[in-house]
Amino acid sequence: MQKVNSENWPYPRWLAHRGAGELAPENTLAAFRIGASHGYRMFECDVKLSSDGIPFLLHDNTLNRTTNGTGIAGEHTWNDLSQLDAGSWQSRGFAGEAIPTLANIAQFCLKNRHFLNIEIKPTIGQETPTGQVVAEHAARLWQDAGVPPLLSSFRPEALASAQAAAPHLPRSLLLDTLWPGWLETALKLECAAIICNHTLWDSALVKQVQGARLRCMSYTVNDAPAAHRLLGLETDSIITDRIDLFSPQEAS
Protein backbone atom coordinates (compact mmCIF):
# COMPACT_ATOMS: atom_id res chain seq x y z
CA MET A 1 0.00 0.00 0.00
CA GLN A 2 1.30 3.43 -0.97
CA LYS A 3 2.20 5.80 1.86
CA VAL A 4 0.22 8.98 1.30
CA ASN A 5 1.32 12.42 2.42
CA SER A 6 1.20 15.92 0.97
CA GLU A 7 4.24 15.27 -1.23
CA ASN A 8 3.06 11.85 -2.39
CA TRP A 9 -0.55 12.64 -3.30
CA PRO A 10 -2.26 10.05 -5.53
CA TYR A 11 -5.83 11.36 -5.55
CA PRO A 12 -7.59 13.09 -8.46
CA ARG A 13 -8.74 16.70 -8.24
CA TRP A 14 -12.49 16.01 -8.45
CA LEU A 15 -14.58 14.00 -5.97
CA ALA A 16 -18.24 13.08 -6.30
CA HIS A 17 -20.06 14.00 -3.08
CA ARG A 18 -21.85 11.09 -1.38
CA GLY A 19 -21.42 9.04 -4.54
CA ALA A 20 -23.28 11.03 -7.16
CA GLY A 21 -24.25 14.30 -5.57
CA GLU A 22 -27.94 14.83 -6.21
CA LEU A 23 -28.43 12.50 -9.20
CA ALA A 24 -29.07 9.41 -7.07
CA PRO A 25 -29.88 8.57 -3.45
CA GLU A 26 -26.81 9.65 -1.52
CA ASN A 27 -24.42 7.15 0.05
CA THR A 28 -25.79 4.18 -1.90
CA LEU A 29 -24.20 1.83 -4.42
CA ALA A 30 -26.52 3.28 -7.05
CA ALA A 31 -24.98 6.69 -6.42
CA PHE A 32 -21.47 5.33 -6.80
CA ARG A 33 -22.37 3.64 -10.07
CA ILE A 34 -23.88 6.82 -11.47
CA GLY A 35 -20.92 8.89 -10.30
CA ALA A 36 -18.59 6.46 -12.05
CA SER A 37 -20.69 6.64 -15.22
CA HIS A 38 -19.99 10.40 -15.28
CA GLY A 39 -16.26 9.73 -15.26
CA TYR A 40 -15.55 10.26 -11.56
CA ARG A 41 -12.75 8.17 -10.10
CA MET A 42 -12.95 9.34 -6.49
CA PHE A 43 -15.93 9.51 -4.17
CA GLU A 44 -16.75 10.96 -0.77
CA CYS A 45 -19.06 9.12 1.60
CA ASP A 46 -20.19 9.22 5.24
CA VAL A 47 -19.68 6.24 7.55
CA LYS A 48 -21.06 5.57 11.03
CA LEU A 49 -21.57 2.48 13.19
CA SER A 50 -24.63 0.34 13.81
CA SER A 51 -25.40 -0.55 17.41
CA ASP A 52 -23.60 -3.87 16.85
CA GLY A 53 -20.49 -2.25 15.40
CA ILE A 54 -20.93 -2.55 11.62
CA PRO A 55 -19.68 0.46 9.60
CA PHE A 56 -22.36 1.61 7.16
CA LEU A 57 -23.03 4.62 4.95
CA LEU A 58 -25.35 7.39 6.14
CA HIS A 59 -24.95 11.12 6.57
CA ASP A 60 -27.62 12.15 9.05
CA ASN A 61 -27.82 11.30 12.72
CA THR A 62 -31.32 9.93 12.09
CA LEU A 63 -32.83 7.68 9.46
CA ASN A 64 -35.78 9.94 8.75
CA ARG A 65 -34.61 11.94 5.71
CA THR A 66 -33.00 9.31 3.50
CA THR A 67 -34.70 6.03 4.44
CA ASN A 68 -38.13 4.69 5.34
CA GLY A 69 -36.87 4.16 8.91
CA THR A 70 -37.03 6.52 11.86
CA GLY A 71 -34.91 7.37 14.86
CA ILE A 72 -31.19 7.57 15.54
CA ALA A 73 -29.42 5.40 12.99
CA GLY A 74 -26.63 4.28 15.31
CA GLU A 75 -29.11 2.83 17.79
CA HIS A 76 -30.27 0.20 15.28
CA THR A 77 -28.64 -3.15 14.59
CA TRP A 78 -27.21 -3.82 11.16
CA ASN A 79 -29.87 -6.48 10.58
CA ASP A 80 -32.57 -3.82 11.00
CA LEU A 81 -30.71 -1.20 8.94
CA SER A 82 -30.07 -3.62 6.09
CA GLN A 83 -33.80 -4.04 5.50
CA LEU A 84 -34.55 -0.35 5.01
CA ASP A 85 -35.33 1.39 1.72
CA ALA A 86 -32.72 4.10 1.15
CA GLY A 87 -33.79 5.01 -2.38
CA SER A 88 -37.48 5.87 -2.60
CA TRP A 89 -37.04 9.28 -0.95
CA GLN A 90 -34.97 10.41 -3.93
CA SER A 91 -37.17 9.01 -6.70
CA ARG A 92 -39.39 6.05 -7.50
CA GLY A 93 -36.75 4.61 -9.82
CA PHE A 94 -34.48 3.93 -6.86
CA ALA A 95 -37.09 2.21 -4.71
CA GLY A 96 -35.60 -0.61 -2.69
CA GLU A 97 -32.01 0.64 -2.81
CA ALA A 98 -30.31 -0.59 0.36
CA ILE A 99 -27.99 1.12 2.80
CA PRO A 100 -24.51 -0.22 1.97
CA THR A 101 -21.85 -1.28 4.43
CA LEU A 102 -18.33 0.09 4.16
CA ALA A 103 -17.36 -3.38 2.94
CA ASN A 104 -19.86 -3.09 0.05
CA ILE A 105 -18.37 0.23 -1.02
CA ALA A 106 -14.82 -1.05 -0.64
CA GLN A 107 -15.60 -3.97 -2.94
CA PHE A 108 -17.01 -1.62 -5.58
CA CYS A 109 -14.10 0.81 -5.38
CA LEU A 110 -11.40 -1.84 -5.37
CA LYS A 111 -12.93 -3.75 -8.25
CA ASN A 112 -13.16 -0.59 -10.37
CA ARG A 113 -9.92 1.04 -9.18
CA HIS A 114 -11.70 4.02 -7.69
CA PHE A 115 -10.46 6.15 -4.81
CA LEU A 116 -12.44 6.92 -1.66
CA ASN A 117 -12.67 9.66 0.94
CA ILE A 118 -14.36 8.21 4.02
CA GLU A 119 -15.85 10.85 6.26
CA ILE A 120 -16.08 9.40 9.77
CA LYS A 121 -19.55 10.56 10.81
CA PRO A 122 -20.10 9.32 14.36
CA THR A 123 -23.38 9.17 16.18
CA ILE A 124 -23.19 11.80 18.92
CA GLY A 125 -21.13 10.42 21.78
CA GLN A 126 -19.58 7.66 19.65
CA GLU A 127 -16.64 9.59 18.23
CA THR A 128 -13.85 7.43 19.64
CA PRO A 129 -15.25 3.96 18.86
CA THR A 130 -16.40 5.07 15.42
CA GLY A 131 -12.96 6.38 14.48
CA GLN A 132 -11.33 3.19 15.71
CA VAL A 133 -13.68 0.73 14.02
CA VAL A 134 -13.87 2.59 10.71
CA ALA A 135 -10.07 2.81 10.54
CA GLU A 136 -9.65 -0.86 11.44
CA HIS A 137 -12.14 -1.95 8.79
CA ALA A 138 -10.62 0.36 6.17
CA ALA A 139 -7.12 -0.94 6.89
CA ARG A 140 -8.29 -4.53 6.50
CA LEU A 141 -10.44 -3.95 3.42
CA TRP A 142 -7.72 -2.01 1.57
CA GLN A 143 -4.75 -4.02 2.85
CA ASP A 144 -3.86 -5.26 -0.63
CA ALA A 145 -4.71 -2.03 -2.46
CA GLY A 146 -2.17 0.25 -4.06
CA VAL A 147 -3.75 3.44 -2.70
CA PRO A 148 -5.52 3.64 0.67
CA PRO A 149 -8.73 5.55 1.36
CA LEU A 150 -8.46 9.06 2.78
CA LEU A 151 -10.10 9.31 6.21
CA SER A 152 -11.65 12.62 7.25
CA SER A 153 -13.81 14.01 10.03
CA PHE A 154 -15.04 17.22 11.61
CA ARG A 155 -14.41 15.52 14.96
CA PRO A 156 -10.75 15.52 16.08
CA GLU A 157 -11.55 12.78 18.63
CA ALA A 158 -12.63 10.47 15.81
CA LEU A 159 -9.49 11.22 13.80
CA ALA A 160 -7.30 10.67 16.86
CA SER A 161 -8.90 7.28 17.38
CA ALA A 162 -8.41 6.43 13.70
CA GLN A 163 -4.78 7.55 13.95
CA ALA A 164 -4.19 5.21 16.88
CA ALA A 165 -5.93 2.26 15.19
CA ALA A 166 -4.42 2.59 11.70
CA PRO A 167 -1.67 5.22 11.65
CA HIS A 168 -0.67 4.33 8.07
CA LEU A 169 -4.02 5.51 6.65
CA PRO A 170 -3.99 9.17 5.54
CA ARG A 171 -6.18 11.62 7.45
CA SER A 172 -7.74 15.02 6.77
CA LEU A 173 -9.41 17.49 9.12
CA LEU A 174 -12.77 18.88 8.00
CA LEU A 175 -13.50 22.51 8.83
CA ASP A 176 -16.69 24.53 8.55
CA THR A 177 -15.08 27.40 10.49
CA LEU A 178 -11.50 28.25 11.35
CA TRP A 179 -11.82 27.53 15.07
CA PRO A 180 -8.93 28.31 17.42
CA GLY A 181 -6.16 25.72 17.20
CA TRP A 182 -7.37 24.02 14.01
CA LEU A 183 -3.94 23.96 12.36
CA GLU A 184 -2.17 22.73 15.48
CA THR A 185 -4.79 20.01 15.79
CA ALA A 186 -4.31 18.92 12.18
CA LEU A 187 -0.55 18.74 12.64
CA LYS A 188 -0.89 16.77 15.89
CA LEU A 189 -3.15 14.33 14.05
CA GLU A 190 -0.49 14.08 11.30
CA CYS A 191 -3.07 15.00 8.68
CA ALA A 192 -2.20 15.04 5.00
CA ALA A 193 -4.91 17.58 4.11
CA ILE A 194 -7.40 20.17 5.28
CA ILE A 195 -10.90 19.97 3.81
CA CYS A 196 -12.61 23.37 4.16
CA ASN A 197 -15.98 24.79 3.39
CA HIS A 198 -14.97 26.22 0.02
CA THR A 199 -15.91 29.77 0.99
CA LEU A 200 -13.14 29.83 3.63
CA TRP A 201 -10.30 29.53 1.13
CA ASP A 202 -8.39 32.63 0.16
CA SER A 203 -4.78 33.14 -0.89
CA ALA A 204 -3.60 33.68 2.70
CA LEU A 205 -5.23 30.48 3.97
CA VAL A 206 -3.92 28.45 1.04
CA LYS A 207 -0.42 29.78 1.73
CA GLN A 208 -0.76 28.94 5.44
CA VAL A 209 -1.94 25.39 4.81
CA GLN A 210 0.56 24.68 2.06
CA GLY A 211 3.28 26.18 4.23
CA ALA A 212 2.41 23.55 6.83
CA ARG A 213 2.87 20.90 4.11
CA LEU A 214 -0.82 20.03 3.92
CA ARG A 215 -3.06 19.68 0.88
CA CYS A 216 -6.03 22.03 0.33
CA MET A 217 -9.41 20.40 -0.36
CA SER A 218 -12.88 21.96 -0.65
CA TYR A 219 -16.50 21.01 -0.06
CA THR A 220 -19.19 21.31 -1.51
CA VAL A 221 -18.65 23.20 -4.76
CA ASN A 222 -21.69 23.33 -7.03
CA ASP A 223 -21.21 26.27 -9.39
CA ALA A 224 -18.60 27.15 -11.99
CA PRO A 225 -17.47 30.52 -10.57
CA ALA A 226 -16.67 28.92 -7.21
CA ALA A 227 -14.75 26.10 -8.90
CA HIS A 228 -12.77 28.52 -11.07
CA ARG A 229 -11.87 30.59 -7.99
CA LEU A 230 -10.53 27.50 -6.22
CA LEU A 231 -8.58 26.39 -9.26
CA GLY A 232 -7.09 29.87 -9.46
CA LEU A 233 -6.02 29.60 -5.82
CA GLU A 234 -4.24 26.34 -6.72
CA THR A 235 -6.16 24.23 -4.25
CA ASP A 236 -5.82 20.49 -4.70
CA SER A 237 -9.25 18.84 -4.66
CA ILE A 238 -12.88 19.79 -5.11
CA ILE A 239 -15.87 17.84 -3.78
CA THR A 240 -19.06 18.45 -5.75
CA ASP A 241 -22.71 17.43 -6.03
CA ARG A 242 -22.79 18.69 -9.63
CA ILE A 243 -21.26 15.73 -11.35
CA ASP A 244 -23.46 16.69 -14.31
CA LEU A 245 -21.81 20.15 -14.49
CA PHE A 246 -18.14 19.35 -13.95
CA SER A 247 -16.29 16.82 -16.08
CA PRO A 248 -13.42 15.49 -13.96
CA GLN A 249 -11.35 14.83 -17.08
CA GLU A 250 -11.84 18.23 -18.73
CA ALA A 251 -11.65 20.32 -15.57
CA SER A 252 -8.65 18.71 -13.86
Which residues touch 200 (CB under 8 Å, ≥6 apart)? 175, 177, 178
List alpha helices for 113-196, DSSP H: 127-141, 156-165, 182-188
Question: 64, 65, 43: which is closest to 152 by C-alpha?
Answer: 43
Between CA 147 and CA 156, with CA 151 as vertex, the angle to 5 degrees is 150
59 flagged as catalytic: yes
The helix/strand/coil state of 154 is: coil
Contact 18, 183 (CB under 8 A): no
User: Per residue in 98-114, is it b (16+ CB within 10 Å) or e — as a string?
Assistant: bbbbbebbbebbeeeeb
d(CA 178, CA 174): 10
Beta bridge partners of 240: 16
d(CA 239, CA 186): 20
d(CA 249, CA 144): 27
Catalytic residues: 17, 59
